[in-house]
Structure formats: structure tokens, C-alpha cells
Amino acid sequence: GIQVEQSPPDLILQEGANSTLRCNFSDSVNNLQWFHQNPWGQLINLFYIPSGTKQNGRLSATTVATERYSLLYISSSQTTDSGVYFCAVGGTGNQFYFGTGTSLTVIP
Amino acid sequence: ETGVTQTPRHLVMGMTNKKSLKCEQHLGHNAMYWYKQSAKKPLELMFVYSLEERVENNSVPSRFSPECPNSSHLFLHLHTLQPEDSALYLCASSPGTAGNTIYFGEGSWLTVV
């Protein structure tokens, strides 16, 4: 299957700071998604971004498919941004491959 | 409204009990998934169903038994579980075509005592 690596594994930020999370993948993919897992366990879809750049409020994401990586930017972080951020890539058919996540803690 | 609903949200069961987790998707998708997430670990794919047929069984012990009666419903039947099976069980669905997206339910927290 496709290998997905995320970095950093853990991140602690002061409220208001900016951060960049990275997702590297080992092969060509048909899609790429970023998720935020909240403290209650739910995985919230943030972006569907197989290529290009998207922005949604304080969050934005960029995927450079030819170089097999994606970046998630969080600006002016808030305590509610805390949680685990996962990157998932799609291969052929119904296969999805998940990274090990970046655990973000935003402190007031 | 996530489009994928799971029940129950929390379950405590003994090792000799039989219980079931239920998942329903309201998105018209063709593929459904069960994932397991143990504490501080990444998601582990358990089962994939496409158009009600199981297409992946990721070496899951037989004490976990999936059932997909139609494309909108997915069950995970549990029997004679072990304490190490305590985890968050996540159901998901996707349209089932290349380039598609995956959507998750809120998860079922399982504790085996």
C-alpha cells in the first residue's frame, strides 16, 4: 500500500501562533484529505485537496502532487484547534491510507 | 449532522457478552468501512464493504463479525472480546469510486471488562 508519513508527531503552540503540518506520501494518489479528530473522537473533514491550494478561514492546505506532499497551515491558533490532525490518501478503488497523525495542543 | 451515524456511542461489555455496533450512512454511498483506533495509535482498517460485498478483511480476529445488509447499513457483531479490544471503533463511508472522499461517523467507544 501507500506509505503516509506526517510530521511533526506532536506540536505544542501558544494561542495565536501559526503552524505548518506536513504529510508525505510514497506514490501517486487519486485524492488527499485532511481531518481533525476532536477530543470526543470524531474525525472532521477539513479539506479534500488532491492538488492545489484551498483556504477555509484560518486553515489552508496545499498539495504538490508531483512531489508527493501536502501541507496544512493553521494561523492564529485557538485552543479549540487542539486535537489530532490526520492526512489520508486514496489509491485505486476504495482504499484509503492514513498517516499516524500530528497531535496538536494549543495552550492559552 | 455528519451523514454517518453510529450507535451506541459508548459500550461497556464483559468478555462473555455478545453485542453489536451499528452504522448508518445517509449519503448514498456505495462503500462502508470499519476502523479501529486504540489509545494514541493510528487508525487500523478492519473491514471494507462495496455494494454490500466484503472486499477487504484486514486479518481481523473472528470475534469481530461484520454484516452489511444493504448499502446504507453496516454492523459489527462482537463476541468473546478481550480487554485489549477496548478502543474507538469508527465507521465510515465513501462513494466508492476513484478520487472519492471518505466520511466518518462519531465513533463508538468500546470498553471490554
Kindly report, residue by residue over B76-92, the tens digit of the pLDDT.
Answer: 999 999 999 999 999 99
Q: CB contact, 8 Å: A90 with chain B?
A: yes
Count how many pairs of residues, chain A against chain B, have C-beta atoms within 8 Å: 59
CB contact under 8 A, A90 and B107: no
A8 pLDDT exceeds 80? yes
Tens digit of each residue's pLDDT (9 = 90 or more) over B38-64: 987 889 999 999 888 888 777 899 999
Alpha-carbon distance of B30 to B113, in angstroms, equals 35
B1 pLDDT exceeds 60? no
Average pLDDT over residues B16-20: 94
Tens digit of each residue's pLDDT (9 = 90 or more) over A24-62: 999 988 899 999 999 889 999 999 999 999 999 999 999
Q: CB contact, 8 Å: A39 with chain B?
A: no
Among B62, B63, B69, smallest CA distance to B13 is for: B63
> What was the pLDDT predicted at B2?
64
Residue percentage of chain B with pLDDT more than 70:
96
DSSP line for B54-73: EEEE-S--TTEEEEEEETTE
A86 pLDDT exceeds 70? yes
* Residues from chain B contacting residue A41 (CB–CB below 8 Å): 37, 88, 90, 106-107, 109
* Residues from chain B contacting residue A90 (CB–CB below 8 Å): 98-102
> Which residue of A10, A94, A105 is the best one to mutate when testing the B interface, meaning the one whose CB has the most B CBs within 10 A?
A94
Torsion angles phi and psi, residue B75, rounded to 5 = -120, 155
* Residues from chain A contacting residue B37 (CB–CB below 8 Å): 41
Residue of chain B whose alpha carbon sits nearest to that of A100: B42
> What was the pLDDT predicted at B8?
97
Contact (Cβ atoms closer than 8 angstroms) between residue A98 and residue A84: no
CB contact under 8 A, A42 and B2: yes
**B62 contacts: CB under 8 Å, gap ≥ 6:** none
Alpha-carbon distance of B21 to B67, in angstroms, equals 10
Q: Identify the weakest region by mean pLDDT among A11-25, B9-23, B33-47, B90-104.
A: B90-104
B33 pLDDT exceeds 70? yes
